[in-house]
Structures are given as C-alpha cells and as structure tokens.
A and B are shown apart, each in its own frame.
Chain A
C-alpha cells in the first residue's frame, strides 16, 4: 500500500480544510477520514488510483456481462410464457438473495486447479487470484438482480401496449425492444441494483481475488485490510471514496433514465 500517505504535494484546499476542521471540532476518526479521503483524491495518489481503477474495471465489466445476460433473460421471463419459466424464476429469485461469499466459494472451487474449470487449463478460463476470476464472481452475483428487476419492470408495462405495438406491425423483436424502452426506468434501476450489489461486495472478491496488492486489491478489500490493521482513518477514507463513486455513477444512471435529482 506504499504511496497512500506518501504524497506530500502541498494543496491549499486540503490545508484549509484541515485547519478549519481542527478548529471547529476535535479531530476524531471521522474527521480524519474525510480529510484523508479528500487529500488522497486531490493529490492523485497512485496506489489509490490503481485500486479505484481496478474496482471500476472489475465491477464495470461484470456489470456489462450481467446486463447482457440479465436484461434479455428478464425480458424473456417477463414477456414469454414457456415450459420451465416458473422454475427459472424461482432460481433467479434465489440468486437475487444468494450470499455473495457463497458464490465466491463456488467460483473458487470451479476455478481452482483441481476444479472442473480450472483443470481445463483453457486460455478462456481465468485463473484464481486474477481480476478475471473476480469478474466471473461479480457477474454471477449481479445478473440475477438485473434479470429479476428487469422482469418486474417489463411486467409492469401495460399489457395492451404489446398488442397495440403488434397491431402497428412490429415483429416480436421490435415488440420486445419497445416494451423494454417503455420500462426503461425500471431497467435502469435493475442495472443500478446490479452495480450496487457488486461494487460494495467484499466476500466473493476477497475469496477469488485474494486482495493482492497491485493486482487484485479493490476498494472493499482494501477497506477490510486497513480496518484489520487498525488504520481506521484510511479505511474510512476509502469508504468515503467508494460512496462517492457509487453516488456519481448512480446520478449518471439516473440521467440515463431521463430524470434529474430535482424530480
């Protein structure tokens, strides 16, 4: 974690905040944590940037996979009527509430050298303790959330709309896309839920990633490490950064829904 406290570039704004904070209230853990968070952000700490970057890359790619699988699956379950649908829905609901650490354990066993996937030695199967393994675990955690909320969203669209769209000459594919577009607020919520479920997740990425410095350390595992080492300020700082990132991304997604914070 070299570099976290190393950055000594003077930044006026941080100094002002520190002076103000120390005068206004006795600096406790929270005060230090916030100031530390600001300092790390404004000084562009290299180690922090690497952790934030890896967190975003792993969760971003996992969210992309989850969306590519979850949205079509949710649409199919919400709009289609086929044999086995109820069973798939039951599995999906189970997946929505599945403890991430158990998913991490399953992925660990699958990817370990003696596991069914790990023993294949295939170049397309990521090995344990790599970002690829973390992406797989997070994708499995997120896609039931995306699929479940997407299903609920499309089922909430007026049933008459599908018939009307077909009456206007839509193909099955066009009808599905139109229903998804009408349910876009709910579909975006499903993606937000998926993102929330993995960016803040620690158990699975800890198991399959191993929290290796510079390779698989992400924000949540770094928080666990700093807390265990008694560096509560730093842990709080990382928590504040995680919260800020989540907030910014959720605001961006809210804008994709066509809504603003004022509404």
Chain B
C-alpha cells in the first residue's frame, strides 16, 4: 500500500457497529482507480457491510472514507452527488416489477437524463439481452435477471461498480457472461470494480488485487498472484487452500 499511489477510495480507522455489535474494524485500505479489487472471506466477515459503506448507503460509526476528492466522516450521510458516482449489483437481483427496459433505464430516469434509448439498448446488447427488452422483468430466469441488474448499473456509467457476490447460484454460462462484462467495463471504460465474493477462484480470474476479510478485519491485501503464491498470513494460505478459517 503506497501512499504516493493515487487512490479511488481511502479508508482510515474505520469501524462500523450495529448497537453493541461491531462488525468492521479497518485500519487502512486504499482501492486504486481502474483496478478490480476483490474482497474475499467467509460469510459474516463484514464484506457486504463494507460494500454498503463504500456505496455511502450507511455512514461509518467512526473513521472516514475518502472517495476521490471528498471525505465522508462518521455519522454523516454522504451527499447525493457522491452517492451517484457509485453503484452496487447485489447478490440477489432485485428488479422492479416493470419491463426489462424500464429496469435498465431506471438509474438514468432518477438522474433526469433524456437521451436514454441508445444507452439502454447498448447496455442490454452488452449483456446479451436485447431481445428481452420489452419482456416483464418478473418472468426472467435468475441468470437473466442478474444480467439485467448489471446492465442497469452500467447505464449510469459509475466511477465505481460494487459487486456483492454477483454470480452466487448462477449457472456457468451466466457466470461467464457476467465476468466477461465486468472485465470489459474495467478495461474499456477504466471502471473501478470492487468485487465481494467467497469464491477465491472467481477472485483469481477477475481481480488485480485481493484482500482477505476475517471477522471484520483485513488480514492481508496482495496482488492476485502473490495472494495465492506467497500468502504472508497463515490464515490467507489456509483460506486459499479451502480450509476452514475463522
């Protein structure tokens, strides 16, 4: 972690607690612009909570998150303009009870954008669902719904795309489509991606760097190759070998 590196996010002395239960305690974390950063760890380790904080849906209990040129301090909600530079694709695609097209253009509609046609059509084509544009979203399969959720996120052209277990329970074909789309967004649009997954193989396929989160604490952050080949912490080694880690 080099302080001279430009950063997209800088997290410092961050904690998040719900009542008396503390779920996150991060001393320092930088996420670099244009990288795919994977957060791995077992269920309940605080990965999804961190994503909510990075999407500014909740403020930290203490500490601060600096995003590009703005800092969000503890207890204060982030300004709307900041929140609109980031978006999340959740594990369970929660689509509106409208057509596929209406779902994909939703973020643009919220922003009052006018010329939506081309952007929406391009996003649907990118996830291979242009032919389903007029179909009711509730009739889609799980894989199709998740691809619509990804298209819905990409139309607003966020600076950062947060992915929370985006391919859990999907078949290999849909996993492939989603991973390829994420790679393209990262390469062609220089979109920063934070991927939360418990699947270390997916992290290895997609990420430039990987962080291991255990019990709300970052155990190790390393470039993907080093994370697998030369883990510095024995718990990282155990995790990548598929052993039980607590």
Which A residues are within 8 Å of any B CB, using their own CB? 158, 160-161, 163-171, 174, 178, 181-182
Q: Which of B94-116 contact A (CB under 8 A)?
A: 94, 96-97, 106-107, 110-111
Which secondary structure characterizes the binding site on chain B?
mixed
Residues of B within 8 A of A158 (CB): 94
Residues of A within 8 A of B106 (CB): 165, 168
Which B residues are within 8 Å of any A CB, using their own CB? 52, 55, 57, 80, 83-84, 86-88, 90, 92, 94, 96-97, 106-107, 110-111, 152-153, 156, 162
Whether A169 and B96, one on each chain, are in contact in the complex, defined by CB atoms closer than 8 angstroms, is no
Of B96, B107, B110, B162, which is in contact with the most chain A CB atoms at under 10 Å from its CB?
Answer: B110
Whether B156 and A167, one on each chain, are in contact in the complex, defined by CB atoms closer than 8 angstroms, is no
In the bound complex, CA of A85 to CA of B87 (Å): 31
In the bound complex, CA of A164 to CA of B146 (Å): 13
Whether A169 and B94, one on each chain, are in contact in the complex, defined by CB atoms closer than 8 angstroms, is no
Whether A169 and B88, one on each chain, are in contact in the complex, defined by CB atoms closer than 8 angstroms, is no
Known: A168-B107, A169-B84, A169-B107. A161 touches B153 (CB 8 A): no
Closest to A167 in B: B88
Whether B57 and A174, one on each chain, are in contact in the complex, defined by CB atoms closer than 8 angstroms, is no
In the bound complex, CA of A169 to CA of B111 (Å): 8
In the bound complex, CA of A181 to CA of B96 (Å): 9
In the bound complex, CA of A167 to CA of B52 (Å): 9
Closest to A183 in B: B97
Whether A160 and B96, one on each chain, are in contact in the complex, defined by CB atoms closer than 8 angstroms, is no
Which secondary structure characterizes the binding site on chain A?
helix
From B84, B92, B111, give the contact of A160 (CB < 8 A).
Answer: B92
Whether A164 and B94, one on each chain, are in contact in the complex, defined by CB atoms closer than 8 angstroms, is yes
Whether B90 and A169, one on each chain, are in contact in the complex, defined by CB atoms closer than 8 angstroms, is no
Whether B94 and A168, one on each chain, are in contact in the complex, defined by CB atoms closer than 8 angstroms, is no
Q: Given A164-B88, A166-B57, A170-B110, output 5 extra A-B contacts at Cβ < 8 Å.
A: A166-B83, A168-B153, A169-B87, A169-B110, A171-B110
Known: A168-B110, A174-B110. A160 touches B90 (CB 8 A): yes
Whether A160 and B94, one on each chain, are in contact in the complex, defined by CB atoms closer than 8 angstroms, is yes
Q: How far is the CB of B106 from chain A (nearest CB, A)?
A: 6
Residues of B within 8 A of A170 (CB): 110
Whether B87 and A167, one on each chain, are in contact in the complex, defined by CB atoms closer than 8 angstroms, is yes
In the bound complex, CA of A64 to CA of B162 (Å): 43
Residues of A within 8 A of B84 (CB): 169
Known: A169-B83, A169-B84, A169-B156. A164 touches B90 (CB 8 A): yes
Whether A169 and B80, one on each chain, are in contact in the complex, defined by CB atoms closer than 8 angstroms, is yes
Residues of B within 8 A of A171 (CB): 80, 110
Q: How far is the CB of A209 from chain B (nearest CB, A)?
A: 42
Whether B107 and A182, one on each chain, are in contact in the complex, defined by CB atoms closer than 8 angstroms, is no
From B57, B96, B111, give the contact of A167 (CB < 8 A).
Answer: B57
In the bound complex, CA of A171 to CA of B107 (Å): 11
Of A160, A161, A165, A166, which is in contact with the most chain B CB atoms at under 10 Å from its CB?
Answer: A166
Q: Enumerate 27 A-B pairs (CB-CB under 8 Å) in ascending A order.
A: A160-B90, A160-B94, A163-B52, A163-B57, A164-B90, A166-B57, A166-B83, A167-B55, A167-B57, A167-B87, A167-B88, A167-B162, A168-B107, A168-B110, A168-B152, A168-B153, A168-B156, A169-B80, A169-B83, A169-B107, A169-B110, A169-B111, A171-B110, A178-B96, A181-B96, A182-B96, A182-B97
